[in-house]
């Protein structure tokens, strides 16, 4: 089942259950998916594109949450936190620290990277392989550490 179909089904369930946080979050994702389909002029999106849209939605909410917490807007921060919790159910399980390090060591050896000059090659491959399972900033920091050691 595609993410879009699952989102549509879950919107109906949230409406029946009266779950306002789920309805807000899922409607936003549905809207973003429909907008992406209109831009491309297609009827369907690839699973990778749908996942990228979902990740972007979560990232936007996390950024907003940080701003609201910094500004002591607990009412708005609470809404963002609720929506993040709903959307994270659709993301793949994130990698643990050990799994991330093992995957990056494997990529570094496969690419043949030996210094910081090769960071671009490693990051290009790592961001594709680990998309959705690790944050880009975390990947970058770990790659720097591994290449410098």
pLDDT tens for 72-124 read 999 999 999 999 999 999 988 888 888 888 998 899 888 888 888 888 888 88
Q: What is the pLDDT of residues 51-79, one digit of tens each?
A: 889 989 999 999 999 999 999 999 999 99
Q: What is the model's pLDDT at position 30?
A: 93
| Cα radius of gyration (the chain) | 18
Label residue 43 by pLDDT band (50, 70, 90): confident
Domain ranges in the chain are 3-88, 97-148
CATH number for the 3-88 domain, one of 2.40.30.10, 1.20.120.1200, 1.10.1510.10, 1.10.274.10? 1.10.1510.10
In the CATH scheme, what is the code of domain 97-148? Answer: 1.10.10.410
The whole-chain average pLDDT of the chain stands at 89
Domains 3-88 and 97-148 share a fold: no
Question: Which span out of 21-25, 131-135, 142-146 was modeled with the highest average pLDDT?
Answer: 21-25
Sign of CA dihedral 103, 105, 107, 109: negative
How much is the pTM?
0.75
Label residue 1 by pLDDT band (50, 70, 90): low
* Chain centre distance of CA 118: 26
What CA–CA distance (Å, rounded) separates 58 from 117?
32
Q: What is the pLDDT of residues 109-119, one digit of tens each?
A: 888 888 888 88
Q: How far apart, in Å, are the Cα atoms of 125 and each of 2, 104, 108, 128, 131?
A: 25, 10, 9, 5, 10
| Residues listed for the chain | 149
CB contact at 8 A, 116 and 148: yes
């Amino acid at each position: 089942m595609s993410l879009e179909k699952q989102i549509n089904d879950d919107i109906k369930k949230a409406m029946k259950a009266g779950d306002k946080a789920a309805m807000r979050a899922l409607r936003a994702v549905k809207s973003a998916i429909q907008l992406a389909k209109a831009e491309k002029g297609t009827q369907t999106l690839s699973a990778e594109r749908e996942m990228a849209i979902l990740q972007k939605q979560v990232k936007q909410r996390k950024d907003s949450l940080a701003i609201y917490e910094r500004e002591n807007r607990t009412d708005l921060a609470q809404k963002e936190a609720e929506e993040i919790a709903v959307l994270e159910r659709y993301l793949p399980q994130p990698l643990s620290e050990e799994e991330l390090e093992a995957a990056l060591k494997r990529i570094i050896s496969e690419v043949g990277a030996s210094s910081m000059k090769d960071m671009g090659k490693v990051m290009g491959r790592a961001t594709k392989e680990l998309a959705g399972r690790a944050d880009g900033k975390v990947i970058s920091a770990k790659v720097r550490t591994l290449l410098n050691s």
